[in-house]
Amino acid sequence: MGKKAGIPVLFIDIVKGTSAVLLAFLSPFVFESNQFVNLQLGLGIAALVGHVFPIFAGFRGGKGVATILGVVICLTPITSLMVLGVFLIVLLATRYVSLSSMTAGLSFPFFLNVVLKNQNQTLLIFSLFVAALLIVTHKKNIARLLKRQETKVNLFVKKA
């Protein structure tokens, strides 16, 4: 549907993930305690599952990329910047949003757990879940990429 529809939807989906995680601040748990982080993850996963499998749309929703980004921005902002860097590099190199999203998602566990040396087991599991989910939700995109039929975005070019 183009940039006019895509940019507001992107923003709303990021806010959806962020808002869910921020609800944890209403809890009595101590900030950054395991209970607090687990609650944040639970709330973020609830938003994500609701986005990918919405009841009102017959359990067929979006791929969850922007909602995951909103969750990750709140949980680990430094990791989100690294992952966004991967997304942008792949997007600029290939012009495939789907490939950029999957590559960024696959880089998330690496940056969080290897580079930043995450010690929280729940976050470790979440990062692996995110990587797997992004591959699963992009099955049709993967098939189109393999057939060289995936649509590329026009970066920096205005339509006539």
Identify whether 11 is part of a domain: yes
Identify whether 54 is part of a domain: yes
Q: What is the pLDDT of residues 94-129, one digit of tens each?
A: 999 999 999 999 999 999 999 999 999 999 999 999
Q: How many domains does the chain have?
A: 1
Identify whether 50 is part of a domain: yes
Q: Which two tokens stand for residue 113?
A: 């757990």
Identify whether 151 is part of a domain: no
Identify whether 114 is part of a domain: yes
Under DSSP, the state recorded for 148 is T
Confidence grade of residue 58 (pLDDT, cut at 50, 70, 90): confident
d(CA 91, CA 75): 24
Percent of the chain with pLDDT over 90: 74
Identify whether 121 is part of a domain: yes
Identify whether 124 is part of a domain: yes
d(CA 160, CA 158): 6
Range of the domain at 34: 3-146
Identify whether 152 is part of a domain: no
